């Protein structure tokens, strides 16, 4: 709940009561907000399991038109209707002395829009094995075929800052033109997903990669 900018208003971001200038909220308010978010998350998980709508596929969990990671502790759900671009990122970590690769990390990278004015874009990453990421992309290709897939030059150019808004509008137009998504029993195109170009990132002697 803390940030690096001064609290100019001197008010808690949660309850609105005064706080010291170096805080953005009361510790008790932050703890309560975290507890409330966790309770909301687990209530949704129980509801998904009870309804039978929860599907764990690769690095992702699908339920009720949303997707979230199958690993880690991220509780936020990303609405499939806001997806714009999905690709596979491979991060290779290198030791400096001697220069040699130590391990690789695979991520499913998802770019979304704000679902309203198409003016705000966000990126989230889900961790998994190479096979899990490819399975997730294959499933997303089936569920949201109107978005951009892969890290090829055409996709990178289309999502460049100067073209992003127009590209997002084109994606939304494609989504609207498709009356319904692909049938839920349609096969996943794992082979096509594996063939997509992916982003290669090298991290030299640095902990973390984002």
Residues 30 and 42 in one domain: yes
pLDDT at 1 over 90: no
Computed over every residue of the chain, the mean pLDDT equals: 83
Q: What does the pLDDT look like over 127-152, one tens digit per residue?
A: 999 999 999 999 999 999 999 999 99
> 89 and 198 in contact (C-beta within 8 Å)?
yes
Predicted structure pTM score: 0.73
- DSSP for residue 18: B
More confident residue, 192 or 20: 192
Say yes or no: 125 and 191 in one domain: yes
Q: In terms of domains, do 97 and 191 share one?
A: yes
Chain position carrying tokens 């309770």: 39
Please compute Rg for the chain using Cα positions: 20
Judgement on whether residues 27 and 66 belong to the same structural domain of the protein? no
The pLDDT, as a whole number, for residue 48 is 56
Specify the 3-state DSSP secondary structure of 197.
coil
* Residue 25 domain-assigned (yes or no): yes
Here the tokens at position 89 are 């990122």
99 and 135 together in one domain: yes
- Render pLDDT for 63-98 as a digit per residue (tens, 0 to 9): 888 999 988 766 678 999 999 999 999 999 998 888
Count of residues making up the chain: 210
């Amino acid at each position: 709940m803390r940030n690096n900018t001064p609290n100019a208003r001197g008010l808690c971001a949660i309850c609105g009561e005064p706080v010291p200038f170096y805080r953005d909220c009361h510790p008790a308010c932050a703890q309560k907000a975290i507890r409330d978010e966790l309770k909301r998350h687990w209530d949704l998980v129980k509801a998904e399991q009870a309804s039978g709508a929860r599907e764990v596929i690769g690095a992702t969990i699908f339920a009720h038109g949303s997707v979230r990671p199958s690993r880690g502790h991220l509780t936020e759900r990303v609405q499939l209707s806001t997806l714009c671009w999905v690709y596979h990122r491979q991060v290779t970590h290198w030791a400096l002395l001697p220069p040699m690769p130590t391990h690789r990390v695979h991520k499913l990278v998802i770019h979304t829009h704000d679902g309203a004015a198409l003016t705000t874009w966000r990126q989230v990453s889900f961790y998994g094995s190479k096979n899990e990421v490819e399975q997730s992309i294959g499933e997303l290709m089936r569920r949201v075929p109107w978005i951009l897939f892969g890290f090829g030059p055409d996709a990178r150019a289309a999502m460049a800052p100067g073209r992003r808004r127009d590209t997002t509008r084109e994606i939304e137009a494609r989504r609207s033109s498709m009356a319904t998504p692909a049938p839920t029993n349609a096969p996943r195109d794992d082979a096509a997903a594996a063939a997509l170009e992916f982003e290669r990132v090298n991290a030299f002697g640095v902990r973390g990669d984002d």
